[in-house]
Homo-oligomer: A and B are copies of this chain.
Amino acid sequence: MDFSLSSKTQDYLTRLKAFMAEHVYPVEQQIYAETHALNPTGDWTQWQVHPAIEPLKQKAREAGLWNLFLPDADKGQGLSCQDYAPLAEEMGRVLFASEIFNCSAPDTGNMEVLYHFGNQAQQDQWLTPLLNGEIRSVFGMTEPDVASSDATNMAATIDVDGDQLVLNGKKWWSTGLGHPNAKVVIFMGLSNPENDKHNQHSMVIVPLDTPGISIKRMLTAYGDYDAWSGHGEMHFDNVRVPKDNLIMGLGKGFAIAQGRLGPGRIHHCMRAIGMAEKALELAMQRSLSRVAFGKPLLKLGGNGERIAQARMAIDQARLMTLHAAWKIDTVGVKQAMTEISAIKVVVPNMLESVVDMAVQIHGGAGMCGDFPLARMAAGARALRLADGPDEVHMGMVTRLELKKYQDKL
């Protein structure tokens, strides 16, 4: 066993931390505050990316800290899932940092889909500008009218009409839909109801300006629009795209989703771990600097124990996620399903509890916009649902545990 980071990872991590220290942390709080002022309402048509972001992206690209998530050595940096994991953690400490390094969800997942399953034309048209950070993308999977915890419930339709595909249905919680640069959606829908239930759906590339798409609204996630990126609801009403926009083939939707799955989990879990570290750091600073009943808060009642609980929970969650990344790299997603499901349950719950502790230590300041804690809390809560609720992933862990016994019974 060797728990140390590879020298390659170590090098990237050192450079990333230096970049964050020099360019990001100094403007972090300012960008939070100004973003809110720039985007005061839910009217996404008026949303603006904070003006500091584009220059930071340029700097990051010049520093070679760009598309770190993509294992491809030319298009990305040649970093494996486990190599990238600690970098994702570092980015997770600042709410907008991923965008600077062109490592934002759902673009990363979408780029992976296009990279692995897109054809050359699809890659040229969409992967290239995404890799260049020129456009943003969204993913259309969750639907308002069915229980999306069971993905096979998905009811939006894809019909073949000659050389065209005709899309109908509603999608919501499409993260990034409010971003001024959002140009394309990967739409998942029911195309082959005649097949068995994991081969009925397809994925289609749809430019967001295609007629028939209406963006109905941005949704608040626990009160916040998460501007300038947002989470949107969009309706598809006889939206027509060329059949060439189909990814891989009809009925391949779940196969693609499965492939997209593993690394994406690692990414968001590691970002969540970075966020938890940041929350713990804020809690430490606050609990050492504020005094009540004659002592710093850290010394009062069970506060110290809660700090310890946070440290222990974060460290366990990190090891579990790194182990899952290592399994993805070494034996593949299919053999790592227990681990990939487990981190989806463990990490968001850990994050939620660490952030909650930090908020409690901050008192009223923790609930308002003076610290990023309330948004972290909302993010943590959302993560317990996004990409499937806890219960669905626990169900997967149980099923895989059961498999070990079925032969013996």
- A147 contacts across to B, CB distance below 8 A: 290-292, 297, 363
Give the residue of B82, B221, B308, B366 whose beta carbon is less than 8 angstroms from that of A394: B308
Taking a contact as CB atoms under 8 Å apart, the answer to whether A221 and B368 are in contact is yes
Residues from chain B with Cβ under 8 Å of A211 in the complex = none
Task: Tell me the chain A residues, 1-49 only, with Cβ under 8 Å from chain B.
Answer: 1-6, 40-43
- Most B C-beta atoms less than 10 A away, residue of A292, A342, A345: A292
A346 to B391, Cβ gap below 8 A?
no
A367 near B394 (CB under 8 angstroms)? no
Stretch of A90-98, A181-189, A252-260, A320-328 on the interface side: A320-328
Decide yes or no whether A119 CB sits under 8 A from chain B: no
A238: interface (CB < 8 Å): no
Is residue A63 within 8 Å, beta carbon to beta carbon, of the partner chain?
Answer: no
Can you list, as one digit per residue, whether each of A365-383 has a CB less than 8 Å from chain B (1) or not (0)? 1111100001101100110
CB 8 Å contact bits of A288-328 with B (1 = contact, 0 = none): 11111100011011111111110110011101101100110
Asked if A173 lies at the interface with its beta carbon under 8 angstroms from chain B, I say: yes
A285 neighbours in B (Cβ, 8 Å):
405
Contact partner, A405, options B2, B222, B288, B346, Cβ 8 Å? B288
- In the complex, A395 Cα to B293 Cα: how many Å? 11
* Inter-chain contact A302/B391, CB cutoff 8 Å: yes
Chain B residues near A323 (CB-CB < 8 A): 3, 315, 319
A363 & B389 in contact (Cβ 8 Å cutoff)? yes
Known: A345-B308, A401-B308. A365 touches B150 (CB 8 A): no
B293–A150 touching, CB < 8 Å: yes
Select which of B289, B297, B364, B404 is within 8 A of A173 by beta carbon. B364
B144, B223, B298, B339: the one within 8 Å of A220 (CB): B223
B302 near A402 with CB under 8 A, answer no
A315 contacts B309, CB within 8 Å? Answer: no
Given A41-B41, A301-B394, A311-B342, A1 and B322 touching (CB < 8 A)? yes
A223 with B378: in contact, given A302-B301, A308-B394, A398-B304 (CB under 8 Å)? yes
A222 and B144: CB pair below 8 A? no
A383 to B264, CA, bound (A): 35
Interface size class of A (residues with CB under 8 A): 35 or more
Nearest opposing residue in chain B for A142, CB measure: B364
> Closest residue to A339 on the B side, CB-wise?
B315
Nearest residue, chain B, Cβ from A325: B1
* A401 and B342 contacting across the interface, CB-CB below 8 Å: no
Indicate if A123 sits at the interface (CB-CB under 8 A): no
In the complex, which of the residues B82, B231, B360, B381 contacts A1, with contact meaning CB atoms closer than 8 Å?
Answer: B82
Question: Which chain B residues border A300 with CB–CB below 8 Å?
Answer: 391
A139 on the B face (CB < 8 A): no
Residues of B within 8 A of A291 (CB): 147, 150, 153
Q: List 6 A-B contacts (CB under 8 A).
A: A148-B363, A150-B292, A288-B409, A300-B391, A301-B394, A364-B385
- A interface with B by C-beta (< 8 Å): 1-6, 40-43, 82, 142, 144, 146-150, 153, 172-173, 219-224, 231, 280, 284-285, 288-293, 297-298, 300-309, 311-312, 315-317, 319-320, 322-323, 326-327, 330, 338-339, 342, 345-346, 356, 359-360, 363-369, 374-375, 377-378, 381-382, 384-385, 389-391, 394-395, 397-398, 401-402, 404-405, 409
Instruction: List 9 extra interface pairs beyond A149-B292, A284-B405, A315-B339, CB under 8 A.
Output: A1-B3, A1-B5, A1-B82, A3-B327, A149-B363, A150-B291, A289-B409, A308-B342, A308-B395
